[in-house]
Structure formats: C-alpha cells, structure tokens
C-alpha cells in the first residue's frame, strides 16, 4: 500500500504502536477522531501493512537494547560466581573496583533459581466445606 497517510492516520498509527498498546479505539481517541470506535476499527483494517512495518521497526530497534533471557542468565551466573565487580568510593575518595558483595551474590542466585523455576512453593489445603444449594419453590404446572 503506497498511499500517503493523513495526519490523523499517522497519529493513529503512532499511538496504536506505542502508548495505546495495540488498542485501536484508544489510539483513535488520542489521535482526535470523532468516532474512535469506528475509526479505530477502520484504521486497524486499512493500515495492516503500515502496522506490520512499524512493529517490525520497533522490534529491530528495541532488540539491540533489551537483554535476552540467555544474557540475563549469564549475567546472574557471573555475579553469583563472583566474576563481576562493582565500583565503590573509599573513605579517602578513591574509586576502586571490588567483587560484588556476598549479599548481592546470594540475591542473584535466588533470582536465577526463580527464573529456572527451582523454588516452587507447594501448599496443601485440606478441610471440610458444607455446601447448601437452594432450589427455590416451584409450582407443578
């Protein structure tokens, strides 16, 4: 689709792919349409190609700045094993690199374990429950 978008359509597309989180009616309302429900529905159908292109661009753009699950697990592992350092300021004002504190290493070990589902709390609930079902009064007609 090579047609040029109107200012409202462009605004709708911008809102739809960002703050409205793929909500066509909300995007139409923010873009200033008089009938947001109808316009949102129409735009979502008419602008499918532009929506797909915009979402692809946003994914490519954010892909470089968002840590993957594997990278996060590697970082947690490195912190837990003491391979990471942090900068601290000494009493004399010098900035020095020191190993991550044991408290932080334990916390990252806990977070890593949780991400792997290692710490699942299972609780058993038992007891008696009385249930009364009222059928009401009905005439036999």
Q: What is the pLDDT of residues 58-87, one digit of tens each?
A: 777 776 666 777 888 899 999 999 999 999
**pLDDT computed for residue 3 by the predictor:** 73
**pLDDT computed for residue 22 by the predictor:** 85
Query: CB under 8 Å to 72, separation ≥6 — which residues?
Result: 115
Q: DSSP character for 22?
A: T
Phi, psi dihedral angles at 95 (to 5 degrees): -100, 120
Q: Is the pLDDT of residue 2 over 60?
A: no
* Sequence ranges of the domains in the chain: 7-63, 69-115
Higher pLDDT, 20 or 95: 95
Residues 16, 39 contacting (CB under 8 angstroms): no
Query: CB under 8 Å to 54, separation ≥6 — which residues?
Result: 13, 17
Q: What is the pLDDT of residues 99-109, one digit of tens each?
A: 999 999 999 99
Q: What is the pLDDT of residues 23-39, one digit of tens each?
A: 999 999 999 999 999 99
Query: CB under 8 Å to 27, separation ≥6 — which residues?
Result: 12, 13, 15, 16, 20, 40, 43
Token code pair at residue 54: 């915009």
Percent of the chain with pLDDT over 70: 94
> The pTM is what?
0.45
Burial class (CB in 10 A: 0-12, 13-18, 19+), 47: buried
CATH level 3 topology of 7-63: Arc Repressor Mutant, subunit A (1.10.10)
* Band of pLDDT at residue 133, cut at 50, 70 and 90: confident
**pLDDT computed for residue 71 by the predictor:** 83
* Band of pLDDT at residue 1, cut at 50, 70 and 90: very low
Token code pair at residue 107: 């916390």
């Amino acid at each position: 689709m090579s047609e040029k978008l109107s200012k409202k359509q462009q605004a709708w597309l911008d809102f739809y792919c960002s703050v409205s989180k793929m909500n066509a009616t909300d995007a139409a309302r923010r873009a200033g349409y008089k009938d947001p429900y109808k316009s949102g529905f129409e735009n979502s159908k008419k602008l499918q190609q532009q929506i797909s292109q915009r979402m692809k661009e946003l994914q490519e753009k954010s892909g470089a700045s968002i840590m993957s699950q594997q990278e996060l697990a590697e970082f947690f592992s490195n912190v837990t094993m003491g391979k990471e350092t942090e900068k601290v300021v000494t009493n004399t004002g010098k900035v020095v690199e020191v190993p991550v504190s044991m408290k932080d290493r334990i916390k990252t070990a806990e977070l890593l374990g949780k991400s792997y589902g290692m710490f699942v709390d299972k609780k058993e609930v038992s007891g008696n429950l009385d249930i009364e079902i009222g059928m009401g009064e009905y005439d036999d007609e």
